[in-house]
Amino acid sequence: MNLPFSAVRAIIRKRDGGSHPPGEIEAMIAGFVDGSVSDYQMTAWLMAILFRGMTRAETTGLTRAMIGSGALLPPWRDGPPVVDKHSTGGVGDKVSLALAPLAAACGLRVPMISGRALGHTGGTLDKLESIPGYQVEIDPARFESIVDRVGCSIAGASEDLVPADRRIYALRDVSGIVESPPLIVSSILSKKAAARLDGLVLDVKVGSGGFMRSRGDARALASLLLRAGRDLGMRVEAFLTWMGDPLGETIGNALEVREAIRFLKCEPVAADFSLVTRALACAMLRVGGEGRRAEIERRVDSALASGAALDRLRAMIAAHGGDPRVADDPDLLPSSRRVLSVRSNRAGWVRRIDARAIAEIVVDLGGGRRRVEDRIDPSVGVVLGVRRGDRVGAEDLLAQAHIGADHRGDRLVERIREAFVISPAKPRSIPPLIEQVSR
């Protein structure tokens, strides 16, 4: 005789290392959505998954249950390939802000359903909300219309689209339940499958600023994502990218929007940010079946040089109710009241910039959340003055901290300085794009 579903029984089963029988995962997710499973019960179950893991079948079952928790987008009209990109989260990772309009300018449709800050990592939606008027919460019909008209839209999942993920994402963020491969896979792929993608490019971060600290763990997660994505019928490519140091020069919501705009204007930006964004744009065109490698690279270069990619950003902002003038005048973005300079206290080579430490500082400044209800200050953050492998002298500028008027800066300067590891020997270089994972 089958016992009626019990959330407590499911929690204990996973806590003790067992596997869920058929239907139990689906019942857990359905109960969470309808309110019969409480937030604290779901948090306990997620924590058990973090420690005990899930089998491949359980991970697939969880992903399908998340997809089934709400509506799917209607099938797309005939037209260009529908392709998206997803990052597992990093520090200074503003790639999506530049990549979506760039890929759209190259002829793809890019329905990018993004998230908010998760743990110490920044959230694309929080960055976009630093643009005056930009609405990230839009209904599916408007989302589809923007993608069809503009070529790209970056928005949050609607109340009806994968509602389980929206609520679970918030619980994971404030409960220390982030670095779990099954939960990462189900969160990413449920949203992507609900958007009915033709292709998906995955950016799996490696290093202290991401959720996978080692290359082996990151490769395992990329493989899991590849298999699950292909099982769901998508063409998928996956890359490992470096996140031991922050990506680009800026960490903080409005600051990162500024850097993304500079990239689209073909102004000088950090080499790692430019390289990763271009490489992922080319990968999106490949999974969309849009030509050979050399031709794809020429299309990406042309979309930037012609201003077409910046035009798509401007149009996307306007379509979301934002001020499109931001694309031409980033000074319209929020800016901090105070800027503190952080200088080196020794000479040597920058061996490492602790991405996790910088991210925690930005969260403490108000640029991220400690609790679900916390409000974000879009103006705060850190701008790097040097990068890994640079030579610095005593008193050279390491970084600038953009802070609120009421924030005390005495300990802050020392915390930022401590995140820069200065050594007498030049460090080995680490490529921003580490490798492509094929299976």
Q: How far apart are alpha carbons 154 and 306 in whole angstroms?
A: 22
Q: Is 205 a catalytic residue?
A: no
398 burial (CB, 10 Å; 0-12 / 13-18 / 19+) is: buried
Q: Is 69 a catalytic residue?
A: no
Which of 165, 173, 198, 245 is an active site residue?
A: 165
Nearest to 282 by CA among 88, 114, 436: 436
Q: How far apart are alpha carbons 160 and 113 in whole angstroms?
A: 13
Show the beta-strand stretches assigned E in 63-161.
83-87, 110-114, 152-156
Which of 85, 86, 314, 388 is an active site residue?
A: 86
Amino acid identity of residue 163, one-letter, is P
Which of 69, 187, 208, 344 is an active site residue?
A: 187
Show the beta-strand stretches assigned E in 108-212.
110-114, 152-156, 199-206
Amino acid identity of residue 178, one-letter, is V
Which of 127, 191, 219, 262 is an active site residue?
A: 191
Q: Calculate ∠ Cα 236-89-37, nearest 5°.
A: 90
Q: Is 6 a catalytic residue?
A: no
Q: Is 86 a catalytic residue?
A: yes
Integer Rg of the chain from CA: 21
Q: How far apart are alpha carbons 126 and 381 in whole angstroms?
A: 13
Say which residues have a Cβ less than 8 Å from residue 202's Cβ, sequence separation at least 6. Answer: 85, 86, 88, 188, 222, 225, 226, 229, 236, 237, 238, 239
**CB-based contact 206:243 (threshold 8 Å):** yes
Nearest to 407 by CA among 359, 335, 338: 338
Q: Is 85 a catalytic residue?
A: no
325 burial (CB, 10 Å; 0-12 / 13-18 / 19+) is: middle
Which residues are registered as beta bridge partners of 339?
Answer: 402
Which residues are designated catalytic? 86, 165, 172, 187, 191
